[in-house]
Amino acid sequence: MDHQSIKEKLLSYKDPELSTAEREQITLHLTSCEDCRSAFARWEAVRSKFKALPSARSSEAFVNQVMARLDALEKVEPTIVVSEQRPFLRWLLPLTGYAFAFFLMILAITHQEQQVNTDAVLLADVPQASQWTFSMETPDTSRLLGIQKEEI
Contact set with another protein (CB under 8 A): 8-9, 11-12, 15-17, 39, 41-47, 49-59, 62-63, 65-67, 69-70, 73, 76, 78-81
Least distance (Å) from another protein to the CB of residue 3?
Answer: 15
Query: Minimum distance between the CB of residue 75 and another protein, rounded to whole angstroms?
Result: 11
Nearer residue to another protein within complex by CB, 66 or 93: 66
Nearest CA-CA partner of 6 in 40, 29, 34? 29
Give the residue with the Cβ less far from another protein, 70 or 120: 70
83: left (phi over 0), alpha (psi -120 to 50) or beta: beta
Smallest gap from Cβ 31 to another protein, in A, equals 18
**Of 7 and 121, which CB lies nearer to another protein in the complex structure?**
7
Q: Indicate the length of the chain as a whole number.
A: 152
Q: How far apart are CA 13 and CA 26, in angstroms?
A: 7
Question: Closer CB to another protein, residue 76 or residue 95?
Answer: 76
In the complex, what is the shortest distance from the CB of residue 22 to another protein, in angstroms, rounded to a whole number? 12
CA distances from 145 to 10, 44, 138, 149 (A): 109, 113, 14, 11
For Cα atoms 100, 105, 108, give the angle at the middle one, nearest 5 degrees: 125
